[in-house]
């Protein structure tokens, strides 16, 4: 029996009815029902027959089947046990798809790559990410320094805007810095609510992140760098001095040391965190090693 592509309202409704599936709001389930959007995602990802692709949250397989047609192998992580029989059904025509019923935040992705995608020339992530955990998924993968060449991912537009934001803009924050530390960011397309079932409350954005060969700035201690970037944005309207007075232990006793550290790093204490560039945060992190008395 010849079926239409999954990414259509008719086929999706048929599968929903067949399996008695109901959407779980807590899992951020919004299935793509537009083949044009999927084709644009595929094009942006640059998949070839030598690519190994990781997908997160395949749902019923609307994107997965198109990945399977073009990639060497597809490895998909699906947290919802109820979707496993659906995916077994929809992916049955493809012998190059592996579905793992696991939470991507808890999965050993490195071992999964070595096990299932070890004969692929490049590893790409292509996914419609669950909106409620987009940030922990992205940062979790980036911080592991996995052998992933690029990410083409769909997310809530507001979050996507933050990834490419520049200093002194409303969207710029610790997420912008973290993503730009590891990757170059390119906006691919805005996606309207109506191409999903059920439609989300907001528009979406497809973003391409290309992993840098080396991080964007040189830091001697990555964990310290990220602690300082996060600490600078705890209260956006506060100055960098006031935010860091809250970050360091016994800061009142060490205020002069904090001021000396900022001065040595070339940072005026009355600036706000949102005005600092990646290079300036790197200066802060690298100079902090000279001030052992300042404990985070």
Q: What is the pLDDT of residue 277?
A: 98
Q: What is the pLDDT of residue 295?
A: 80
Correct CATH for 9-211 of 3.40.50.150, 3.30.565.10, 3.40.30.10, 3.40.50.460: 3.40.50.150
Is the pLDDT at 22 greater than 70? The verdict is yes
For the chain, what percent of residues have pLDDT higher than 90? 90
Binding residue numbers for S-adenosyl-L-methionine: 30, 32, 57, 78, 103, 128
> Residue 118's CB: how many other CB atoms inside 10 A?
10
Q: How confident is the model at residue 95 (pLDDT cuts 50, 70, 90)?
A: very high
Q: What is the pLDDT of residue 25?
A: 77
> Residue 252's CB: how many other CB atoms inside 10 A?
8
Q: How confident is the model at residue 210 (pLDDT cuts 50, 70, 90)?
A: very high
> Residue 194's CB: how many other CB atoms inside 10 A?
10
3-state secondary structure of 176: helix
> Residue 166's CB: how many other CB atoms inside 10 A?
10
- The per-residue pLDDT for range 268-285, each reduced to its tens digit, is 999 999 999 999 999 999
The token pair that represents 285 in the structure block: 């992190």
pTM above 0.85, yes or no: yes
Binding residue numbers: 30, 32, 57, 78, 103, 128
For residues 96-113, give the mean pLDDT.
98
For residues 91-103, give the mean pLDDT.
97
- What is 222-288's CATH topology? Helicase, Ruva Protein; domain 3 (1.10.8)
Q: What ranges do the domains of the chain cover?
A: 9-211, 222-288
Strand partners, 32: 196
Q: How confident is the model at residue 1 (pLDDT cuts 50, 70, 90)?
A: very low
């Amino acid at each position: 029996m010849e079926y239409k592509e999954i990414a259509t309202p008719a086929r999706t409704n048929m599968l929903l009815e067949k399996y008695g599936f109901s959407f779980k709001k807590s899992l951020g389930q919004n299935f793509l029902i537009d083949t044009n959007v999927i084709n644009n995602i595929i094009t942006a990802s640059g998949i070839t027959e030598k690519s190994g692709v990781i997908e997160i949250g395949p749902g019923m397989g609307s994107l997965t089947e198109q990945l399977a047609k073009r990639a060497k192998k597809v490895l998909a992580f699906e947290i919802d046990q109820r979707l496993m029989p659906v995916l077994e059904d929809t992916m049955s025509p493809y012998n190059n798809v592996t579905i793992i019923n696991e939470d991507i935040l808890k999965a050993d992705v490195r071992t999964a790559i070595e096990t299932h995608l070890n004969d692929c020339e490049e590893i790409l992530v292509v996914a419609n990410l669950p909106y409620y955990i987009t940030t922990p998924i992205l940062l979790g993968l980036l911080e592991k320094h996995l052998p992933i060449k690029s990410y083409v991912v769909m997310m809530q537009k507001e979050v996507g805007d933050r990834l490419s934001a520049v200093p002194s803009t409303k969207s710029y924050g610790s997420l912008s810095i973290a993503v730009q530390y590891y990757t170059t960011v390119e906006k691919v397309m805005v996606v309207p609510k109506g191409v999903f079932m059920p439609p989300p409350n907001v528009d979406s954005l497809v973003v391409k992140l290309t992993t840098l060969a080396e991080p964007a700035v040189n830091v001697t201690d990555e964990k310290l760098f990220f602690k300082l970037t996060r600490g600078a944005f705890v209260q956006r309207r506060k100055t960098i001095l006031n935010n860091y007075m809250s970050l360091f232990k016994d800061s009142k006793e060490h205020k002069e040391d904090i001021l000396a550290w900022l001065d040595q790093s070339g940072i005026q204490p009355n600036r706000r965190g949102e005005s600092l560039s990646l290079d300036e945060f790197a200066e802060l992190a690298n100079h902090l090693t000279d001030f052992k008395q300042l404990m985070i």
